Amino acid sequence: MLLDNIRQTDRLGCWGGDEFLFLQPDTDATGAIFFAEKICRKIAGHQFTGPVHITASLGVVVYQGYGTVKSLIARADDATFAAKKTNFTLPFSCIVREPL
């Protein structure tokens, strides 16, 4: 389902047991949040086999020339945790505009 919704230039990777990273080159904050909302809707609306209900919490971080990979992933993790506090309905975003 996730691979069906990414562009050819995007990258998807597994990060831990139940976490994934999406890298979207040449995507601004609006585009990244739109994508995250789309993924949340797709997962929430998907009919899984059996009595399974799956939700997604997505954190969005926009890289604008500052920060290390480690610090950006930490910000994405923080944004994902904030999204979980919204009862799994909305992505939470963080735009990195300054050095970390």
Global pTM?
Answer: 0.74
CATH superfamily of 3-96: Reverse transcriptase/Diguanylate cyclase domain (3.30.70.270)
Whose tokens are 């399974």? That residue is 52
3-class state of residue 14 by DSSP: strand
Question: How confident is the model at residue 92, as a pLDDT?
Answer: 53
Tokens matching residue 82: 């904030």
Between CA 92 and CA 55 the distance in angstroms is 14
Question: How confident is the model at residue 97, as a pLDDT?
Answer: 45
Question: How confident is the model at residue 99, as a pLDDT?
Answer: 43
In terms of C-beta density within 10 A (0-12 exposed, 13-18 middle, 19 or more buried), how is residue 63 classed? middle
Cα atoms found within 13 Å of the Cα of residue 91, Cβ hemisphere only: 22
Q: What is the pLDDT along the chain (100 residues), one digit of tens a residue?
A: 778 888 899 988 888 777 888 888 888 888 888 888 888 888 878 888 888 777 778 888 888 787 788 888 888 888 888 877 776 555 555 544 444 4
Between CA 38 and CA 40 the distance in angstroms is 5
